[in-house]
Amino acid sequence: MKKLIISMFLIGLSLMGLSIDIYGGYNYVFTPDSTISSFFDVSVDIPLNENDNTQFGLSLNLLSITTDVDSFFFSLTTYGKYNTKTSSGIFSVFGKGGAVFPIDFSFSSVGYMVFAGIRYYFNQFFVGFSYEVIYLYNDLKLDVIPIQFGYNF
């Protein structure tokens, strides 16, 4: 049922004509003494405001972080992005931050994340590199280097 709801949400957004980014990535964790070495994520960036070369919006993320108790986390963040056009594409600098919580949500399980990085768009495809810090509800801190590949609708 969850897969159907997420699929319908993504299809509905794409039909509304918004310029959204859908992407996935591999995240390398380099926190000392961490039992988590890497994880994957799938994300959707939905712009709320676009002016000149800037964009502000919401980002929804599904993170495959496996802990002792949980195996998937969801995050709801806001993002800001500045675009610079080049001769072969668009170079973007962006940042985002917000809440991270396990799929079985409870208010006592909310953590947060902060994210800063760059993306390069060529045609509708893009690749991104960044630095991310995630604090999970169980006082687990993850220093992460995500590598993202995505598509802009």
Residue 5 lies in a domain: no
Residue 45 lies in a domain: yes
Give the Cα separation of 57 and 60 in Å (integer).
10
Residue 69 lies in a domain: yes
Q: End-to-end CA distance of the chain, in Å?
A: 25
Residue 48 lies in a domain: yes
Residue 1 lies in a domain: no
Give the Cα separation of 110 and 112 in Å (integer).
7
The pLDDT of residue 70 is 85
Residue 98's domain comprises 18-152
Residue 7 lies in a domain: no
Count the neighbouring beta carbons within 10 Å of the beta carbon of residue 104: 9
For the chain, the domain total comes to 1
**pLDDT tens, position by position, for the chain (153 residues)?**
566 666 666 666 554 556 789 999 999 999 988 889 999 999 999 998 888 899 999 999 999 998 888 889 999 999 999 999 999 999 999 999 999 999 888 888 899 999 999 999 998 999 999 999 999 988 889 999 999 999 998
Task: Give the CATH number of the domain where residue 31 resides.
Answer: 2.40.160.20
Assigned token pair, 12: 């509905």
Give the Cα separation of 80 and 58 in Å (integer).
9
The pLDDT of residue 10 is 66
Residue 41 lies in a domain: yes
Residue 10 lies in a domain: no
